[in-house]
Structure 1
Amino acid sequence: MSLKLYYDLLSQPSRALYIYLQVCKIPFEKCPVALRKGEHLSEEFKKDISRFQKVPVIKDGGFTLAESIAILRYLSREKQFSNEWYPKDSKLQAQVDEYLEWQHNNIRTFGTLYFRTKWIQPLLTGEPPNAKKVATYEKHLAECLSSMEELFLKDKPFIAGDKATAADIWAACEIEQPRITGFDPVAGRPVLSKWLNTVRKTFSPYYEEAHLILNKLVAKANAETK
């Protein structure tokens, strides 16, 4: 098996790529990397796996590639599998790409800033989060989630039309992340809620497998707030 995936299932793009490989039935070797232990920051990781020192990363024979969207596009060109999740049709593929490009400066940006400020930094430092920053990032994240409903899901069941695609996988994995902090991304957003539940079912059982750790953390956070 030549394809190796280096990932951590607490990483949103790692989960997305993990699900994508599974649903496309692309054989790969699982190479988990514990971000919480700083394994990606070692000199060995930097030298042998990725100069960016992030996940996900793939090694395909002697070829190494980082960045999940670049990997998605590489796999679509190089591997033989059903193209329904990343369509070969130019216009359909462009619709998938449109969302993936939009997401970077919207849900991913503010979701990551919110999650890091409210959960990661306090976990690492033992200090309470900056309440002003948390409120600002939460406001922007909420605006992005509402924009996603309006721009991409108002009149169709999935982001790129009538069928689920990679755009839905990547979007859902980002939207799941802040649930660890107690934030409910679908509260007051029935369209987004219906879509997310449909995505979870569409990519079952791999979706549940990829979110097992996250859901345990969500359950723990919910229990602590009761």
Structure 2
Amino acid sequence: DAPWCRFQEGWTQEGWVSCGLSVCDLVTSRVAPSSLRPQKVGAWTLGREWTEALPPASLDCLSGQHFSDDFAQVNPLRKVPALKDGDFTLAESVAILLYLSRKYEAPDHWYPQDLQTRARVDEYLSWQHTDLQTSCIRTMWQKMLLPVFLGQPVPPETLASTLAKLDRCLQLLEDKFLKDQDFLAGPHISMADLVAITELMHPVSAGCDLFKSRPKLAAWCQRVEAEVGEDLFQEAHAAIMKAKDLPPADKAIKEKLKPLVQPLLH
């Protein structure tokens, strides 16, 4: 088969996890009544041999699986994503993406060989960790997960501040990275676009219409979806879009998560 782009929840070998490329410590690989973390999916497979070598697996962090000694052998950071490829283990979303793209010789447009084009991809991946990613995650938690799932009220001024920061990040995404190009690093889709679109689905899942007043960003989103394929795009984000349907957490989960989510209230 020719290489193909696919979003996926993760890959594992010999029983451990490379669960969906995630952005915070409170994560699971699927959104279900027994899990908390809405999925961030930003990995792709390049040919069917990838999924055969590294089939997907799940990890339920609410049950404490990420604190187990077995999982710590894969990722001492005790959070997902984590990759186990034979005896080799790796943590962190971007590092895993880069490793997989190199090992499986991804088509050049994903992580271009051209020095300056690759630098543009690297530039975005370096920026998004502390800016767009943070704003998107905080928005999702403050607007949806904290009040609905955990029953934790969010001060209106806190949410307003977060939404203002998100708006500034979206403006930077347009002005600094997208500009008048088709994609973030130039005329072709790249790893930067995959990471960016998965971040934006977090506030979208919480009911934020990010694209209503941003036609340039909306057109970019449509191009990304077209490149990936509509069915695959929808499949990739099905879990995150169902986060709003999570039932309220039980008391034990609320108590477990209470100290961890406090920073999201400020």
TM-score range, shorter chain: 0.7 to 0.9
Aligned mate of 1:11, from 39, 47, 50: 39
Larger strand fraction of residues: 1
Aligned to 1:29: 55
RMSD, matched Cα? 2.5
Q: 2:177 touches 2:184 (CA, 8 Å); kept in 1?
A: yes
- Name the CA shift for 1:147/1:60 in 2 (closer, same or farther; >3 Å): same
The CA deviation string for residues 40-98 of structure 1, in whole angstroms up to 9 with x for no partner, is 44324543432212221111111111111111222233333423211122222111111
The 3-state SS of whatever aligns with 2:75 is coil
Q: Is 1:117 matched with 2:142?
A: yes
Measured after TM superposition, the shift of residue 110 of structure 1 is 1.4
Q: 1:23 touches 1:206 (CA, 8 Å); kept in 2?
A: no
The 3-state SS of whatever aligns with 1:211 is helix
TM-score (norm 1): 0.84
Q: Distance in 2 between matches of 1:170 and 1:46?
A: 25
* Letter in structure 1 aligned against 2:57: C
Q: Distance in 1 between matches of 2:100 and 2:121?
A: 15
Aligned to 2:34: none
Q: 2:18 touches 2:80 (CA, 8 Å); kept in 1?
A: no
In structure 2, list runs of 5 or more residues that go unmatched.
1-11, 21-28, 31-37, 247-266
- Name the CA shift for 1:25/1:143 in 2 (closer, same or farther; >3 Å): farther
Aligned mate of 2:131, from 106, 114, 120: 106
The CA deviation string for residues 76-132 of structure 1, in whole angstroms up to 9 with x for no partner, is 333334232111222221111111111122111111222222323234532222221
The 3-state SS of whatever aligns with 1:65 is strand
Instruction: Compare 194-203 and 155-164 and name the one that shifted more.
Output: 194-203
Measured after TM superposition, the shift of residue 217 of structure 1 is 4.0
The CA deviation string for residues 167-194 of structure 1, in whole angstroms up to 9 with x for no partner, is 0000000011111221111120000001
1:205-216 aligned at under 5 Å gives the runs 205-216=231-242
Q: Distance in 1 between matches of 2:111 and 2:205?
A: 29
1:143-158 aligned at under 5 Å gives the runs 143-158=168-183
Measured after TM superposition, the shift of residue 212 of structure 1 is 1.2
The 3-state SS of whatever aligns with 1:168 is helix
Q: Distance in 1 between matches of 2:159 and 2:130?
A: 18
Q: Distance in 1 between matches of 2:39 and 2:242?
A: 15
Aligned to 1:126: 151
Aligned residues: 215
Q: Distance in 2 between matches of 1:22 and 1:40?
A: 29
Q: Distance in 2 between matches of 1:190 and 1:148?
A: 13
Q: 1:57 touches 1:64 (CA, 8 Å); kept in 2?
A: yes
Aligned to 1:74: 99
In structure 1, list runs of 5 or more residues that go unmatched.
222-226
- Name the CA shift for 1:119/1:43 in 2 (closer, same or farther; >3 Å): same
- Name the CA shift for 1:23/1:92 in 2 (closer, same or farther; >3 Å): farther
The 3-state SS of whatever aligns with 2:242 is helix
Q: Is 1:57 matched with 2:70?
A: no
* Letter in structure 2 aligned against 1:5: S
* Letter in structure 2 aligned against 1:209: E
